[in-house]
Amino acid sequence: MTKRIAIIGGGISGLSAAFALEESRHAGAPVEYVLFESCPRLGGVLVTDRVEGCLVEAGPDSFITEKPWAADLCRKIGLGDQLIGSNDSERKTYILTKGKLVVMPDGLMFMVPTKILPTVFSPLFSLRTKMRMAAEWFHPPHKASADETVAEMVERHYGPEMVDRLADPLLSGVYGGEASQLSVRAVLARFAEMEAKHGSLGRAMLAARKKMAGAANRPAPPLFTSLKEGMQQMVDALLSR
């Protein structure tokens, strides 16, 4: 019996779903699908413009290297040679606090400190928060019985200042919502898994990076991955299949 599937939305998720179903169909699976999109353009928020010879991302500019699915998709659709990693030694992010732009210290992996000295000497955090960061390395494993907000989880590990100065600005840029309104299991499920296994998010992040680097003592992989001609390459490649 043929399965009939409706895909709602022609953003990257919808296009990826259509690609997976098309692969299954070519492999002989009895499946039909229709993709519905209200806008005249497919691709959703993945939009890359050229302005005076420069690439300008109007939406997401990269994806997290640790999560392999986007890179795997790029390789499947013929974009493997277009993948480029972030230059983490040169990448800087600034947080506006008390009317001043303050650079995020080196070693912060999506608001989790993994290097001690840059964090200790950063003016972004108070002494109280720095002490919480140090104590966090000894945080015992904890498996939550129920979901919680990102703000609640971050505050348990690092205190309220970390929510205000890192979690809120970073998550609002990615998800368009406040940490107090976002579910950990929905947007940071990996953090919940790390906490259950390692306790300390800092120790968990270091373990994850070492695992990705492999046994050959290779340099740690870049934190973010993008495409040479912009993220819209994914959309264009999917539409050409």
Q: Quick one: tokens of 233?
A: 């390459």
Superfamily for the 3-86+226-240 domain: FAD/NAD(P)-binding domain (3.50.50.60)
Convert the pLDDT of each residue in 30-82 to its tens digit: 999 999 999 999 999 899 999 998 999 988 889 888 788 999 999 999 999 99
First to last CA, the chain: 26
Residue whose C-alpha is closest to residue 203's, from 211, 126, 67: 211
Average pLDDT of the residues of the chain: 89
- Every domain of the chain and the residues it spans: 3-86+226-240, 94-213
Read off φ and ψ for residue 36, nearest 5 degrees.
-110, 130
| 182 pLDDT higher than 70 | yes
CB–CB of 93/87 below 8 Å? no
Looking at residues 201-223, what average pLDDT do you find? 74
Looking at residues 123-151, what average pLDDT do you find? 89
If one compares 135 and 210, the residue with the highest pLDDT of the two is: 135
Give residue 213's pLDDT: 62
CATH code for the structural domain at 94-213: 1.10.3110.10
Among 97-101, 188-192, 234-238, top mean pLDDT goes to: 234-238
Q: Give residue 218's pLDDT band: very low, low, confident or very high (50, 70, 90).
A: low
